[in-house]
Amino acid sequence: MKVGYIGAGAMGAPMIARLAEAYPGDTLVFDVSPEVSARVAGKTGARACSTIAEIAQASDVLFSCVPDNASSLQAYLGDDGVASAIRPGSITIECSTVGPDITQEVNAALKAKGACHLDASMLGSVKQAREGTISFVVGGEAEAFERAQPVLARCGRFIRHCGPSGAGNRMKLIHQTLVGGHAVAVAEAMGLCLETGADVETFFDIVTQGTGFACSRYFENRVPRMRDGEFSALFMLKFLLKDVRLARDMISGAGANYPNLSAVVKTFEDSVEMGWADDDFSAVMKLVEARIGKAIAK
């Protein structure tokens, strides 16, 4: 079995490494940057392909991880894209966070070619990609999901079939509304500590060691980084903004019916405007700092 991967970026490269280890000599890579393809191929032993059509024609299972809706449509349905060359019986696995409408459009096009398309949205970041502990929430035909599971298991641990095409995207986007909302809530709670004089270290201990309901992995992991003034990206703020916008746009009238979500989107938009798009999404804390004139770093 030959396994291909389109998109050798921060998430794709470590996944390609794991796939190349599991399928030596049978792993293929394509990136829009030939230099990136060559570098990842050289490090992992995967074979670099020069076009999407080439990798699509050669792959039995083809992953993709690209930045956004437009990139996904171009990769799959553009000239010399996946749909132009995919073989009947092949499975494509879109790991990008895209809108369910995009997934369903791609699914229909590939189904017409005799291929199966899965939306396998990922929960986790680069650390989990390196460790092989990504969570996959998957939409698509159950039979294709069963066939793809052993390959997904090379890169992830929690793998859940959520329903038909687009169902994985919906689950991921709803999940991201909690992530974004929590990031904003934590930033504002820390801002309240700073403005009221409540001791930040004591508050951290109360949240993480007490028996209340405020603790989370995000709080435990990100607040110490904030205290160190560390906002280097584990997951870029601009990407979480993309996710919460996509979640909002799944529903017409979201502004009226989901005011908290609208407020989260606005907070992330304001943070991007302030120049923190490429920082970690916890950099919404910087926006609170700018508003109150106080810094969380020790």
3-state secondary structure of 127: helix
Residue 166's closest CA among 98, 115, 114? 98
* CA–CA gap between residue 274 and residue 115 (Å, rounded): 44
Active-site entry in 2, 43, 127, 172: 172
* 127 in active site: no
Polymer length of the chain:
298
* CA–CA gap between residue 141 and residue 143 (Å, rounded): 6
* 160, β-bridge pairs: 137
> What DSSP state is assigned to residue 88?
T
* CA–CA gap between residue 298 and residue 284 (Å, rounded): 18
Give the CA angle between residues 167, 171, 172 to the nearest 5°.
Answer: 115
* CA–CA gap between residue 110 and residue 87 (Å, rounded): 9
* CA–CA gap between residue 237 and residue 249 (Å, rounded): 18
* CA–CA gap between residue 202 and residue 130 (Å, rounded): 34
* 136, β-bridge pairs: 122, 159
* CA–CA gap between residue 9 and residue 69 (Å, rounded): 16
* CA–CA gap between residue 250 and residue 170 (Å, rounded): 8
CA–chain centroid gap for 281, Å, is 13
Known catalytic residues are 172
